[in-house]
Amino acid sequence: MTMEIRVPQLPESVADATLVAWRKQPGEAVGRDENLADLETDKVVLEVPAPAGGVLKELKVQPGATVKSGDLLAIFEEGAVSAAPAKPAKGGKAAAAKESASAATAAPAAVAAAAPAAAAKLGPAARRLVEENQVDPAAVAGSGRDGRVTKGDVAAHVAQQAAATVAPAAAPVVAAPVPGARAEQRVPMTRLRQRIAERLVQAQHNAALLTTFNEVDLTAVGELRARHKDRFEKEHGVKLGFMSFFVKASIEALRKFPVMNAAVDGTDVIYHEYYDIGVAVSTDRGLVVPVLRNAETMGFAQIERQINDYGARARAGGLALEELQGGTFTITNGGVFGSMLSTPILNAPQSAILGMHKIQDRPVAVNGQVVIRPMMYLAVTYDHRIIDGREAVQFLVAIKDALEDPGRMLIGI
């Protein structure tokens, strides 16, 4: 039975999408729920699953095209099978020639059969690089989680292939460089990068941004982690990191200063009585901010587990759109990349964002003595239209106090 493959219903906030790539080609057998194509929106990459087992007959849209909900993508034949090579007759040169031709077509068929399993371990960025360089994904060793092939793995494989195929020449000819020549490339922004740029500029134009700083001594948090990390991981199956402490400390500070958890809507201020904390995650495609819903109800293990899951799926392009929407307050950690200090930009329409930075041993004065402590600079950028400097500074001090004496978060002081 012939079926039409159409663009699935896009979320209400998404007007259209870009067809990034076809994962199956005409004449290729497809299993039920196998991915046929990737659609990139301004937030996530969506997959178009096969409705049943069969064969992809005809493509109606080429990669790079912009499509909307319901647009026709391809024609699909349910229950059909891909054409198999004819069985050669026995005897004679003609049979030998047919057997040779059959063997030649069997090799690509075997590669094609192995391709879905290998492609399943590719993230969107790695897939794109595989297609651009016509690389067999099964030949690339994955270094990511669960054997996932990363963009770096594909790039390294391409480089190795290029080095191996360069034949040594008796008298190599080196092209003379053109004096004053300077190379450049023009690459279009991805939809996600366009959306990031749009939102950041919007935040700077629509809000009165101001940043205040402080520093926190993480000795107590470090000692607490060292004391309990092994048992924590054994009981909960996840490592006890720093992020859960910062999420908990932020919620305690937000309770004391609710305006930091608010948003501006025209001439009104919306005070959120729940805490949906966005945690910025860096991916090959750009920065995304999945949200911990009702984070005030989550324990340390739940927070760590959810953040780890978001990070893995974000880098693999597997986050759902609803996981990126909303949020009342955001935390971003530039310290993982070595940042010492920064002024983060609001994640509109939120009114505040906390910036974490690198933990570095520094000399500080404690009780009149100079000691070495693990210190981190904190930054909070806020919308000065509704948040005064006094509230922002006290909010940051509340986070500092909670982290320097984690017991405060247990007894609510």
Just list the catalytic residues: 384, 388
Q: How far apart are CA 209 and CA 41, in angstroms?
A: 28
Q: Which residues pair with 356 in a beta bridge?
A: 333
Parallel/antiparallel/unpaired status of strands 360-366 and 291-292: unpaired
Distance of CA 279 to CAs 49, 132, 329, 345, Å?
29, 32, 9, 14
Q: How far apart are CA 179 and CA 202, in angstroms?
A: 43
Strand blocks (E) in 243-298: 262-265, 268-271, 277-279, 281-283, 286-288, 291-292
The dihedral sign for the CA sequence 174, 175, 177, 182? negative
Q: Which of 399, 390, 387, 381 is nearest to 211 (CA)?
A: 381
For the chain, give the number of residues. 413
| Identity of the residue numbered 221 | V
Q: Which of 115, 151, 161, 139 is nearest to 23 (CA)?
A: 115
Three-class DSSP labels, 111-169: HHHHHHHHHCCECHHHHHHHHHHCCCHHHCCCCCHHHCECHHHHHHHHHHHHHHHCCCC
Q: Do residues 295 and 279 lie in contact, with contact meaning Cβ atoms separated by under 8 Å? A: no
Q: Which of 263, 240, 254 is nearest to 385 (CA)?
A: 263
Strand blocks (E) in 286-401: 286-288, 291-292, 329-333, 352-356, 360-366, 369-383
Q: What is 62-75 written as a DSSP string?
A: -TT-EE-TT-EEEE
């998404």: which residue's tokens?
14
Q: What angle do CA 342, 345, 350 make, to 5 degrees?
A: 135
Q: Do residues 190 and 286 lie in contact, with contact meaning Cβ atoms separated by under 8 Å? A: yes
The dihedral sign for the CA sequence 237, 353, 41, 149? negative
């990390």: which residue's tokens?
229
C-alpha gyration radius of the chain: 27
